């Protein structure tokens, strides 16, 4: 018996060791998300929020994660219309009639966020100047009602005299907040060209400034900011194995040369020493890299600069290596359990020019001599192969291969690189195809299509739609990285398709963006997310059946159906939606944007997991004065589990019900205009309702004071019929006086 117990014990130990080993072997491969200039905020509850440059004129997108490698798009967190944009900084062109045309470009990039109390502060770059916006949620909406940017400036004319881009003084970019151990907040930023403040001056290049900063007043301490780091095109290299490709290598064999740039500052503190890290060279260069300098104070003076993190294989001799070039514009966070320092940075694949920039991450740290490093496999180099997920994290998403997709794991796989691929290639990871159409031809009986780059569906044909061909089996279309962008206008599915690791980006600005499943089994997996259209702010339509626009012209004419028979079937199929944010989801067909109830009687919709519906526009609230504040009631908004309330255009609170009391309003306040919007997870905000104005006159006798006389005067006026007020209004004034 003891022998059997011993065997059971041994078996149990081996099982536990195996289980532990399996858990410890969870890995990921860079890149993990799409975007440039990444910044990660780790909030108090351990949730990570990733902010990226998302297109210079539409705003910033935000992603959320619990493990740093599986990211879900949460929509736009800051939009140009919500912050200060100088309408005088324009691009001017001369028209044929001799007049000028001016266009304002927000040029938004490089957002960073710090939390102070219950408020989130975002420092952002717009029009090559810095602004600060605030929000009550890390998902936004971030707003800034300032009337100028942070550093005062003047517009001096246009680059070509009367045309071109408007020129301004004191240009600055790339803001970074740092909070020291004593609670002092510092704001660092980068000046462009000529810049003189507080006795410091420099006339060329991108250079780093900073100083103590008050978040409440949004001002620098007296005498700040000061110049901290000057650009330098000759910097020492710290790690062995680096190859000097500089034209000056014969003169400076151990030095790195690059453009006149020191930008993207980030501050770290280690063993009492301050490490100011920054990017050098040009963002489009494969040599764009992270440097650092050290000091005993957040304000310096700083030591000689050192190269901390560089691109691998600078001579591009290793054609088999999955290259990561231009590894810079970075930020720092910690692993889920706090034991690892994690460096987040962007990189691109192109050797000679910038391509799509993607978000990567690597473990960072300090060696025994205090030298900073990053890289898991090779210190000083990015990790482009599988590495363990950050410590304390667990991969959460699952793939549900059942039903129509039960045998997909046994089918072949092809790779697609929409930018670099070739449809005559083998379809392997090393020799990818270019289009999904070619991938389907290579998988006649089904299989997996892995998208290694942003996929532009509208660019595959000359039309506005992509017709995913029918194959004799199920397909999985999967991004090689989290939230792989899939840009489209109209998508029609002609096979059973499982989408995963995809972020759907509507490419249309004015019409609906729509996915027509065409009576097939379709799964939107746990890794699917959706971006709203940048102008209409609507999310995609997802139609299980077909879509008929109801006319022969207009939206996607070549792909509309023309009769009820076209949009009706008795086929049994399932539309499974486990993630993503959608404006419309129906297992049936649509006709003129209305659901055709009888179009697919045997269709099934599974709407579960993290899937969300974008709220519709709310109706204007009713508002009345109460002794406790302004009392709002509003009609329930479809798909909206929460509501955001605006007072005079500013967020005043959130509620999960259809009523809200604004306690900031008291009788005697000036008239206030209220509106409401439904929202999902903060960033997926429906359109705000029309405003309802509350004006409550409490100072009845006009002496600029609210007292018992006002209550008695109003009571007298009601008694003698000279006021239409109610006794409730009298009680409100009484209660105000008592307070």
CATH number for position 644: 2.60.40.10
> Residue 314: its pLDDT value, please?
52
Task: Please tell me the total count of domains within the chain.
Answer: 4
430/384 same-domain check: no
Q: Is residue 287 part of a domain?
A: yes
Task: Identify the top-confidence range among 344-353, 443-452, 594-603.
Answer: 443-452
Split at pLDDT 50, 70, 90, the class of 22 is very low
Q: At what angle do helices 727-738 and 708-719 cross, to 10 degrees?
A: 170
Contacts of 446 (CB under 8 A, 6+ apart): 408, 411, 471, 472, 473, 474, 475, 495, 496
Mean pLDDT estimate for the chain: 84
Split at pLDDT 50, 70, 90, the class of 9 is very low
Give me the residues paired with residue 479 across strands: 451
Looking at 435-439, 456-460, 587-591, 631-635, which range is the least confident one? 456-460
462 vs 527, which has greater pLDDT?
527
- Percent of the chain at pLDDT > 90 equals 47
Would you say residue 354 has pLDDT above 70?
no
Beta strands in 193-340 (DSSP E): 195-197, 200-202, 206-214, 219-220, 226-229, 235-237, 255-256, 263-270, 273-280, 289-295, 306-309, 325-334
> Residue 410: its pLDDT value, please?
95
Q: Is residue 452 part of a domain?
A: yes
Give me the residues paired with residue 179 across strands: 185
Report the CATH number that the domain containing residue 267 is assigned in CATH: 2.115.10.20
> Residue 6: its pLDDT value, please?
43
Q: Are 706 and 737 in contact (CB under 8 A)?
A: yes
Helix, strand and coil in the chain, % to nearest 5 = 10, 40, 50
Q: Say how far residue 434 (Cα) sits from the centre of its chain.
A: 27
Mean pLDDT confidence for 274-302? 89
Beta strands in 407-446 (DSSP E): 413-416
SS3 category, 724: coil
> Residue 669: its pLDDT value, please?
74
Split at pLDDT 50, 70, 90, the class of 11 is very low
| Domain final residue pick, 577, 594, 612 | 612
156/195 same-domain check: yes
Mean pLDDT confidence for 305-314? 67
Would you say residue 244 has pLDDT above 90?
no
Cis peptide before 372 (omega within 30 of 0): no
Mean pLDDT confidence for 690-718? 67
362/502 same-domain check: no
> Residue 35: its pLDDT value, please?
85
Contacts of 594 (CB under 8 A, 6+ apart): none
SS3 category, 736: helix
286/428 same-domain check: no
> Residue 19: its pLDDT value, please?
42
The alpha carbon dihedral of 542, 59, 484, 338 has a sign of negative
How is residue 123 written in tokens? 């420092």
> Residue 15: its pLDDT value, please?
41
Mean pLDDT confidence for 451-460? 85
> Residue 12: its pLDDT value, please?
41
Contacts of 221 (CB under 8 A, 6+ apart): 211, 212, 213, 214
Farthest CA pair distance, the chain: 102
47/103 same-domain check: yes
> Residue 240: its pLDDT value, please?
52
Contacts of 258 (CB under 8 A, 6+ apart): 233, 280, 281, 282, 285, 287, 288, 289
Give me the residues paired with residue 586 across strands: 543
Q: Is residue 22 part of a domain?
A: no
> Residue 618: its pLDDT value, please?
87
285/408 same-domain check: no
How is residue 690 written in tokens? 């029309």
Q: Is residue 15 part of a domain?
A: no
Split at pLDDT 50, 70, 90, the class of 7 is very low
415/291 same-domain check: no
Q: Are 135 and 143 in contact (CB under 8 A)?
A: yes
What is the rounded distance in angstroms from the CA atom of residue 32 to the CA atom of residue 425? 26
Looking at 136-145, 283-292, 437-446, which range is the least confident one? 283-292
What is the rounded distance in angstroms from the CA atom of residue 624 to the CA atom of residue 630? 6
pLDDT digits (tens, 9 = 90+) for 370-390: 888 888 777 777 888 888 999
| Domain final residue pick, 612, 637, 663 | 612
Mean pLDDT confidence for 282-294? 83
> Residue 312: its pLDDT value, please?
56
Contacts of 168 (CB under 8 A, 6+ apart): 89, 127, 128, 129, 153, 154, 155, 156
Beta strands in 377-427 (DSSP E): 387-388, 413-416
- Percent of the chain at pLDDT > 70 equals 82
452/537 same-domain check: yes
Q: Which residue has the tokens 């994290």?
A: 393
How is residue 720 written in tokens? 């003698």
Would you say residue 82 has pLDDT above 60?
yes
Mean pLDDT confidence for 350-355? 61
- Locate all alpha helices (DSSP H) within 147-208, ordered by sequence: none
Would you say residue 524 has pLDDT above 90?
yes
Would you say residue 10 has pLDDT above 60?
no
Name the pTM for this structure: 0.80
Mean pLDDT confidence for 111-121? 96
Q: What is the DSSP letter of 656?
A: S
Angle at 93 between CA 88 and CA 95, to 5 degrees: 125
> Residue 517: its pLDDT value, please?
96
488/602 same-domain check: yes
375/410 same-domain check: no
Q: Is residue 397 part of a domain?
A: no
Q: Which residue has the tokens 């600005």?
A: 509
714/636 same-domain check: no
SS3 category, 210: strand
Q: Is residue 5 part of a domain?
A: no
What is the rounded distance in angstroms from the CA atom of residue 592 to the CA atom of residue 441? 33
Q: What is the DSSP letter of 140?
A: -
> Residue 455: its pLDDT value, please?
92
> Residue 708: its pLDDT value, please?
72
Contacts of 360 (CB under 8 A, 6+ apart): 30, 31, 32, 324, 327, 344, 345, 346, 347, 382
Cis peptide before 529 (omega within 30 of 0): no
Task: Identify the top-confidence range among 32-41, 460-469, 723-732.
Answer: 32-41
Burial class, 405, CB count within 10 angstroms (exposed 0-12 / middle 13-18 / buried 19+): buried
Q: Is residue 267 part of a domain?
A: yes
Task: Identify the top-confidence range among 141-145, 230-234, 251-255.
Answer: 141-145
Looking at 41-55, 114-128, 543-557, 566-580, which range is the least confident one? 543-557
660/604 same-domain check: no
Angle at 122 between CA 119 and CA 128, to 5 degrees: 155
Q: Cα torsion for 715, 719, 725, 726, to the nearest 10°?
A: 80
pLDDT digits (tens, 9 = 90+) for 645-694: 999 988 888 888 899 999 888 776 778 899 999 887 667 777 889 999 98
> Residue 13: its pLDDT value, please?
39
Task: Give 256's Cβ-side CA count (13 Å radius).
Answer: 29
SS3 category, 135: strand
What is the domain range of residue 683? 615-693
Number of C-beta neighbours around residue 194 at 10 A: 13
What is the rounded distance in angstroms from the CA atom of residue 230 to the CA atom of residue 203? 11
Would you say residue 169 has pLDDT above 80?
yes
> Residue 451: its pLDDT value, please?
93
Distances (CA, A) of 239 to 267, 321, 367, 577: 21, 20, 12, 48
| Domain final residue pick, 566, 583, 612 | 612
> Residue 284: its pLDDT value, please?
78
Q: Is residue 494 part of a domain?
A: yes
């Amino acid at each position: 018996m003891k022998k059997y117990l011993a065997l059971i014990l041994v078996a149990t130990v081996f099982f536990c060791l195996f289980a532990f080993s399996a858990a410890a072997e969870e890995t990921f491969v860079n890149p993990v998300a799409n975007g440039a200039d990444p910044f990660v905020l780790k909030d108090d509850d351990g949730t990570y929020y990733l902010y990226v440059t998302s297109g210079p004129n539409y705003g910033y997108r935000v992603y959320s994660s619990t493990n740093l490698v599986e990211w879900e798009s949460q929509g736009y967190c800051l939009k140009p219309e919500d912050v200060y944009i100088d309408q005088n900084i324009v691009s001017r062109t001369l028209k044929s009639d001799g007049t000028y045309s001016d266009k304002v470009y927000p040029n938004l990039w490089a957002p960073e966020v710090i939390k102070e109390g219950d408020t989130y502060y975002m420092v952002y770059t717009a029009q090559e100047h810095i602004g600060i916006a605030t929000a009550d949620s890390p998902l936004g909406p971030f707003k800034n009602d300032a009337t100028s940017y942070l550093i005062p400036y003047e517009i001096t004319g246009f680059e070509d005299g009367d045309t071109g881009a408007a020129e301004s003084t004191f240009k600055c970019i790339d803001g970074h907040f740092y909070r020291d151990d004593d609670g002092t907040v510092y704001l660092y930023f980068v000046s462009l060209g000529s810049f003189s403040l507080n006795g410091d001056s420099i006339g060329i290049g991108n250079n780093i400034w900073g100083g103590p900063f008050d978040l409440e007043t949004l001002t620098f301490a007296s005498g700040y900011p000061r110049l901290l780091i000057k650009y330098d095109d000759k910097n020492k290299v710290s790690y062995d194995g680096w190859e000097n490709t500089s034209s000056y290598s014969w003169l400076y064999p151990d030095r790195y040369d690059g453009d006149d740039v020191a930008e993207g500052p980030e501050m770290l503190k280690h063993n009492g020493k301050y490490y100011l890290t920054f990017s050098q060279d040009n963002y489009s260069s494969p040599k764009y890299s992270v440097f650092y300098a050290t000091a005993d104070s957040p304000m310096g003076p700083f030591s000689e600069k050192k190269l901390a993190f560089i691109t691998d294989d600078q001579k591009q001799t290793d054609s088999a290596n999955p290259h990561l070039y231009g590894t810079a514009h970075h930020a720092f966070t910690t692993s889920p359990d706090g034991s690892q320092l994690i460096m987040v940075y962007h990189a691109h694949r192109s050797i000679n020019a910038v391509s799509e920039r993607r978000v990567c991450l690597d473990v960072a740290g300090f060696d025994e001599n205090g030298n900073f490093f990053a890289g898991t496999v090779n210190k000083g180099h990015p990790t482009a192969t599988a590495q363990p997920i950050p410590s304390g994290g667990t991969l959460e998403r699952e793939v549900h291969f059942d039903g129509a997709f039960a045998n997909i794991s046994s089918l072949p796989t092809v790779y697609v690189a929409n930018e670099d691929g070739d449809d005559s290639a083998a379809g392997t990871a090393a020799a990818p195809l270019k289009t999904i159409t070619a991938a389907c031809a290579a998988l006649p009986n089904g299989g997996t299509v892995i998208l290694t780059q942003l996929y532009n569906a509208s660019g595959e044909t000359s039309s506005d739609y992509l017709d995913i061909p029918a194959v004799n089996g199920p397909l999985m279309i999967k991004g090689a990285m989290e939230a792989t962008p899939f840009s489209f206008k109209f998508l029609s599915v002609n096979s059973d398709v499982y989408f995963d690791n995809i972020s759907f980006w509507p490419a249309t600005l004015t019409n609906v963006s729509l996915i027509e499943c065409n009576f097939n089994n379709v799964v939107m997996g746990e890794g699917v997310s959706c971006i709203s259209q940048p102008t209409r702010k609507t999310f995609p339509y997802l139609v299980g059946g077909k879509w008929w626009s109801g006319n022969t012209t207009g939206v996607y004419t070549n792909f509309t159906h023309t009769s009820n028979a076209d949009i009706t079937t008795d086929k049994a199929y399932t539309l499974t939606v486990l993630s993503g944010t959608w404006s419309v989801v129906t297992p049936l067909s649509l006709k003129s944007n209305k659901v055709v109830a009888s179009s697919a009687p045997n269709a099934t919709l599974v709407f579960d997991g993290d899937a969300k519906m974008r709220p519709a526009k709310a109706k204007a609230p009713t508002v009345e004065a109460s002794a406790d504040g302004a009392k709002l009631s509003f009609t329930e908004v479809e798909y909206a589990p929460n509501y955001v309330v605006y007072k005079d255009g500013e967020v005043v609170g959130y509620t999960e019900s259809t009523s809200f009391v604004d306690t900031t309003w008291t009788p005697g306040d000036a008239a206030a205009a209220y509106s409401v919007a439904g929202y999902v997870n903060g960033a997926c905000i429906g359109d705000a309702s029309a405003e309802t104005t509350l004006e409550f006159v409490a100072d009845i006798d006009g002496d600029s004071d609210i007292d018992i006389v006002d209550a008695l005067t109003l009571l007298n006026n009601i008694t003698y019929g000279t006021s239409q007020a109610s006794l409730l209004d009298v009680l409100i004034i009484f209660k105000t006086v008592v307070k």
